[in-house]
Amino acid sequence: MSCAVAALSLVVLLAGATPAAEPVRVATLLPYVEDALVRLDPRTVVVVATARRELHAPPPAPVIDLGNPHSPSFERLAEAHADLIVGDRMMHAALADRLGAHGEVLLVDSSTVDATLDGLEEVGRRVGAGPAMARAVGETRAGLAAQALATPVPTLLLFGTPGSFMVVSKRTWVGDLAEQVKLRNLGDQVSGSERFPGFVQASDEVLAGLRPELILLIAHGDPTAIRAAFDQKLDAGPLAPLRASASRGVHVLPGAQFATNPGLRLSDAAAELRELATSGEP
């Protein structure tokens, strides 16, 4: 073959070659989605922007900081040039049109364990990494199944703020997680106003009538201060009867696993619940 023919053949081959696809650029308003995506092949998907998992902790550069997940920065989102924007179906439905001006929008359901994991699988399919995400989700589901208690434990789940305590019902991801571990959530007996779906305002008198063996507290703010305020109610206040019934203890759940939905780490959170329920067995 002459040099001229060889050169022409090379040009033809190069002209017909398919260029490598660019990774899908994702902006997420859900930190657990970021956690799941960074496990995938960066040649397939890259997280370019994310909301904060803690108020005073922006993501490390070069990931763009979208700020508070409840009220993200649309200016910073515009800078991300995202192909896909992932948000929560309940939290971000009202923002869908504004989000859509900056990329394709996918809103997932984070309100239960199964919905969270189903949503991650959908994200995986949308970024072209369906099998890899399905494997990761399958491992999480297997880990969750292994944490179920043989005998349900009567449990009171509370969400504490500096000024009040709300009952956590099973209509939240953490309440649903407790159900999967076989903690019998006494909060489901409580009714009242709900400023946030699944978090019930209940009087001290109502709470005092419950008989939990285990009390679990999710702190929003300084965990030490919130625990101290709750202990004060238990020791000398209207909630004193709860102290007597809580034979498995009163525990503040670690913020790293319970302040926000942990996604693929739900099995780790389930293991923590199981440990607290069994380590304090009467």
Mind listing the pLDDT tens digit for each residue in 53-62? 887 889 999 9
pLDDT at 20 over 70: no
- Enter the tokens of residue 262: 């942990």
- Give pLDDT tens digits for 95-132: 999 999 999 999 999 999 999 999 999 999 999 999 99
| 268 in the same domain as 196 | yes
| 249 in the same domain as 157 | yes
Percent of the chain, pLDDT > 90? Answer: 67
The chain-wide mean pLDDT, for the chain, equals 90
| 174 in the same domain as 128 | no
Q: Give the whole-angstrom CA distance, residue 243 versus residue 255.
A: 23
pLDDT band at residue 197 under the 50/70/90 scheme: confident
Question: Which region among 18-22, 53-57, 219-223 has the lowest average model confidence (pLDDT)?
Answer: 18-22
Supply the pLDDT for residue 12.
47
Q: Give the whole-angstrom CA distance, residue 212 versus residue 190.
A: 13
- Residue 215 C-beta-side C-alpha neighbours within 13 Å: 28
Using the CB atoms, write b or e for 118-133: b if 16+ within 10 Å.
Answer: ebbbbbbebbebeebb
- Give pLDDT tens digits for 139-173: 999 999 999 999 999 999 999 887 788 999 999 99
DSSP per position, 207-222 = HHT---SEEEEEESS-
pTM, to two decimals: 0.88
Residue of 49, 195, 28 whose CA lies nearest to 108: 28
| 165 in the same domain as 62 | no
Beta-bridged to residue 154, according to DSSP, are: 184
| 209 in the same domain as 259 | yes
Number of domains in the chain: 2
**What is the pLDDT averaged over residues 240-265?**
91
Residue 18 resides in a domain: no
| 119 in the same domain as 194 | no
Strands (E), the chain: 24-28, 45-50, 64-65, 84-88, 104-108, 153-160, 165-168, 183-185, 199-201, 214-219, 250-252
Range of the domain at 193: 153-279
| 161 in the same domain as 274 | yes
Q: What CATH number should be reported for the domain holding residue 28?
A: 3.40.50.1980
| 141 in the same domain as 231 | no
pLDDT band at residue 7 under the 50/70/90 scheme: low
3-state SS, residue 169: coil
| 216 in the same domain as 163 | yes
pLDDT at 8 over 80: no
Residue 3 resides in a domain: no
